[in-house]
Structure 1
Amino acid sequence: MKEGKGRARLTRRTLLDELTAGLVALIEEGGYQIGDRLPSMSALAAHFGVATPTLREAARRLEAAGTITFRHGSGIFVTGDSRRLVIANPARTELGDQTTLDVLDTRLLIEPELARRAAERATHEQLAAIGGLLDEARQAIEAADEQSLTPLNMRFHVAIARAAGNQVLTEALQSVVELYEPQQSVIGQIYADPWRDHNEHRDIYDALVRKDATAAHDLMRRHLEGVLAVVSATLRREKERD
């Protein structure tokens, strides 16, 4: 049996797989966050003991997955969760009011059950992270920092989804949030009651801490239903005026 040629192909494929996994491990274990710059390509190649072109081929896999990006003259930067399974496609046509309502309706279908699961499964570290996001959001409200507030609030919702322990649903929600970021900004502008929003988030968080799954589910549902009602009524009035 001729094994040489087949073994060479397997070795090449395995090497790229191992390098890709090694890069993911380096990002995760090295504490790199979105926006952080990674070591240079030559430094990474030396770290893994491979030629730079081979390392670059593995890195291109992560670029295709949206985990890293190459910026000419600047270096390699982390742009997404290295464990992501679902990637938002930014190629889309102009979106209108119905899309904004559909975004909220989609979240209403997903997030209450994720909150229930998070109350059952969240670790102390995950709860601490969620609480930290609440504190940052409060500071943004007090500073009237509207630009920071909406992303912080969305990170709060995604963090709860992550604590539920279902990566596919977490990635789905995160993709909705990222792909429809303009709609999320519109929703925040229309709702325009940051303290009410924050207090409802605090109530949801308290239910998670108590591990009260039913309360977490119901509070999340009422929260999103309330936002949907306000946004729907506002968009309807604007349409009638037009």
Structure 2
Amino acid sequence: MAPAASATTSLPTLTQSGARTALQAAEQYAIDIGVPMSIAIVDAHTHLLSFTRMDGAKITSINTAMDMAYTAAGNRIPTSAYQETPCSGISNTTSGRFTTLGGGVPILSTSGDILGAIGCSTGTSMQDEAAAKAGRDAVLALINSEEDREEKRLAEERQAVLTLWKEKEEEVGCLREELEGMERGSKRIRLDGGRSGSASVTGSLLGRRLSMAGGFAPDTPPEEGEIHPSFIGEVSVGRY
């Protein structure tokens, strides 16, 4: 029977820290090319995380940048991909927020999950999209760096566990050898004790048998406390 599907799911999304990284990189690109821009960053749910309007950016670029980010995150493709496609119907269903102007770029994880998007506006479509890509690349580099650090941390933890396991395994091996040695010694002691007891009993029985045969019986009974020669192996005997 197939396992029941979960009723909920957990999706990765950009944080404020990631949004700031993307915004700073896009802003630096805009400075480098000399085109002040409005820059908007949204999370995986198209909600605004970070925004800036650089000095000199167009007033109309404010909403345009946010709509670019909204469209790129909601559809998971760059807004420039729609420039040659009629999308008036989509625009109507999103209260006019859907835009085909180039400058909106989605931010996707290595597994293809949508993490958020960035929209840049004021320059040409090519300039805006290039700035957005600079922001996207910066935050993806940060994410990859964090993943590498996490993998390294997990690898170190695994190595520490393996090292501890080997140390404990060696300790257990030493203890096992000690216990086996003690057990062997205990067996030798029991065997030696058993042999001594058997010899005493055998000597006693042999003495009795010889005495009954008449070969070693004395002429007169021994006094109490004497060692009777016919009871070899006995410690003491009473009267005969």
* TM-score bin (small chain): under 0.3
Higher strand share: 2
Higher RCO (CA < 8 A, seq sep 6+): 1
TM-score by length of 1: 0.22
TM-score by length of 2: 0.22
Higher helix share: 1
